[in-house]
C-alpha cells in the first residue's frame, strides 16, 4: 500500500513510518514540525519508499500519486501547560488539527477511495465516571475546561470520521490511544514519562503533580504500534481502545522509575492549577482489542522502561 501519515515527524508518527516501511509499504509523511522533530525521521530520508512534505494539515492537502490509506496523527498531544508545545499553549492550532485537519485528511481518503485511520485518545472520556473505560462510555468532558481544545477537537474528529463513513462510505477506523511512551518522545514536552525519566537520569527528585494518587496505565510504543497496524488491517469501523490496562498511581509510576534508574533523590509533590483538573483515573478496557484484533500488550513497565532509557541517556549526553 501507499500510506499517507500525518504527524510523521512526531513520536508515534515516526514509529508508524518505520513499522509500515518494514512491512513493505510505501510511506508519504506530512508534518509542520510544530511539536515534532526532523531528527525523528532523519534516518528515513535516503529511503526510496519514503517521501516527506512539510505541510500544515489544517490547509488543503494535495498528495501526488495514488494513496491507499491515510493515518491522521497530526496534533499537539501534551497537556502540560509548562511546556510551550503543549496543547494548552497551542489552543487554536490544536482545534484546527483535530477539526480542519481531520476534514482535509478524510477528503484525501474519500478522493482516493483509501482507508482512513484516526488517532483519537483516551481524553475523549474526559475525567471518566466509568472505570475502566469501555468504548461504549460517552465520557465526561467540560467543553470550556482547560483540556477542552484537545478533547473536543478529538471528539469532533471521531464524529466527522463516522459521518464520512456513514454518508460517503469511507472505509474508516478510530483508535483511542491511552498514555504511550518510548524512544523519540520529546524530552521537553512535559508529559509524565519524559519529565520523570529525565529527572531520574539527572539524579533529581521526580515531580509528582497533586497527591500522586491519580492513576494512569502506560503502554510501550511497540505494543501500541502493533495494535494500530492490526486495526488498520481489520474491517472494524467503531472505536477501539489500545493501551496497557496495568493501572498504577503516579506515585507508583515515579517509584518504578526511581528504582530502575537507581535514582536516590526521591519524589517532590507539586501542586499547581493543573492538578485540580487532572483526570483522576484512567485504565483502558481492552476487551474489544483482544476480541476483534487478537491484540494485547506484551511489554510490562520494567521492560518498556529498559528499552526507553538508552534513548533518554543519549539525548541527555550521558552516553
Ligand atoms: P507528537 O507531538 O510527538 O506528534 C504529533 C506530530 O504532529 C508532531 O510531529 C507535530 O509536529 C505534528 N503536527 C501537529 N499539528 C500539525 C499540523 N497542523 N500539521 C502538520 N503536522 C502537525 O505526539 P504523539 O504522542 O506522537 O501523538 C501523535 C498522535 O497520537 C496525536 O494525534 C495524539 O493526539 C495521539 N495520541 C497520543 C497519545 C500518546 O500517549 N502518545 C495518547 C493519545 C493520543
Ligand atoms: N504528571 C506528574 N508529573 C509530571 C508530569 C505529569 O505527576 O512531571 C502527572 C499528571 O498530573 C497526570 C499524569 O502524570 O496525572 C499523566 O500526565 P501526562 O502529561 O503524561 O498525560 P495525561 O495522562 O494527563 O494526559
Mean predicted confidence (pLDDT) in 284-309: 98
- The pLDDT tens digits for 2-13 are 999 999 999 999
Q: How confident is the model at residue 273 (pLDDT cuts 50, 70, 90)?
A: low
- The pLDDT tens digits for 233-247 are 999 999 999 999 999
Q: Give the active site residue among 150, 164, 181, 220.
A: 150
Q: Tell which atom from ligand 1 comes closest to the C-alpha of 97.
A: 18
pLDDT value, residue 187: 97
| CB distance 94 to ligand 1 below 6 Å | no
| CB distance 191 to ligand 2 below 6 Å | yes
**CATH no. of 2-185+219-245+284-298:** 3.40.50.720
Q: Has residue 276 got a pLDDT over 80?
A: no
150 is catalytic: yes
Lowest mean pLDDT among 72-76, 80-84, 223-227, 282-286: 80-84
What average pLDDT does the chain have?
A: 97
If you take atom 4 of ligand 1, which residue's CA is the nearest one? 10
Q: From the CA of 144, how far away is ligand 2's center (Å)?
A: 20
Q: From the CA of 288, how far away is ligand 2's center (Å)?
A: 26
Q: From the CA of 293, how far away is ligand 2's center (Å)?
A: 29
pLDDT value, residue 146: 84
Buried b (16+ CB within 10 A) or exposed e, 224-237: bbbbbbbbbeeebe
- The pLDDT tens digits for 42-99 are 999 999 999 999 999 999 999 999 999 999 999 999 999 889 999 999 999 999 999 9
pLDDT value, residue 275: 64
Q: From the CA of 119, how far away is ligand 1's center (Å)?
A: 9
Q: Sort residue 259 into left (φ over 0), alpha (ψ -120 to 50) or beta.
A: alpha
Q: Has residue 202 got a pLDDT over 80?
A: yes
| CB distance 195 to ligand 2 below 6 Å | yes
Amino acid at each position: 500500500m501507499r500510506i499517507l501519515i500525518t504527524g510523521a515527524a512526531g513520536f508515534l508518527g515516526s514509529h508508524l513510518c518505520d513499522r509500515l516501511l518494514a512491512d513493505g509499504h510505501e510511506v508519504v509523511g506530512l508534518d509542520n514540525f510544530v511539536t515534532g522533530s526532523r531528527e525523528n525521521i532523519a534516518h528515513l530520508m535516503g529511503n526510496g519508499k519514503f517521501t516527506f512534505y512539510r505541510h500544515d494539515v489544517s490547509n488543503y492537502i494535495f498528495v501526488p500519486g495514488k494513496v491507499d490509506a491515510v493515518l491522521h496523527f497530526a496534533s499537539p498531544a501534551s497537556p502540560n501547560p509548562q511546556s510551550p508545545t503543549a496543547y494548552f499553549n497551542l489552543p487554536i492550532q490544536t482545534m484546527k488539527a483535530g477539526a480542519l485537519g481531520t476534514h482535509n485528511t478524510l477528503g484525501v481518503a474519500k478522493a482516493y477511495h483509501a482507508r482512513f485511520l484516526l488517532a483519537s485518545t483516551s481524553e475523549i472520556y474526559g475525567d471518566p465516571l466509568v472505570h475502566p473505560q469501555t468504548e461504549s462510555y460517552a465520557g465526561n468532558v467540560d467543553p470550556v475546561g482547560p483540556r477542552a481544545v484537545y478533547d473536543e477537537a478529538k471528539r469532533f474528529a471521531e464524529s466527522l470520521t463516522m459521518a464520512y463513513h456513514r454518508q460517503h462510505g469511507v472505509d474508516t477506523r478510530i483508535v483511542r490511544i491511552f498514555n504511550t511512551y518510548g524512544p523519540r518522545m520529546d524530552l521537553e514536552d512535559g508529559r509524565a514519562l519524559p519529565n520523570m525519566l529525565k529527572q531520574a537520569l539527572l539524579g533529581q527528585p521526580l515531580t509528582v503533580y497533586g497527591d500522586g494518587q491519580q492513576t494512569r496505565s502506560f503502554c510501550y510504543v511497540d505494543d501500541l504500534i502493533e495494535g494500530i497496524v492490526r486495526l488498520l488491517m481489520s474491517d472494524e469501523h467503531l472505536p477501539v481502545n489500545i493501551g496497557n490496562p496495568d493501572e498504577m498511581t503516579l506515585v507508583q509510576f515515579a517509584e518504578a522509575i526511581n528504582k530502575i534508574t537507581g535514582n536516590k533523590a526521591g519524589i517532590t509533590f507539586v501542586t499547581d492549577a493543573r492538578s485540580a483538573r487532572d483526570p483522576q483515573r484512567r485504565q483502558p478496557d481492552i476487551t474489544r482489542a483482544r476480541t476483534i484484533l487478537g491484540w494485547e500488550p506484551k511489554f510490562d513497565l520494567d521492560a518498556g522502561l529498559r528499552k526507553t532509557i538508552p534513548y533518554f541517556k543519549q539525548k541527555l549526553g550521558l552516553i
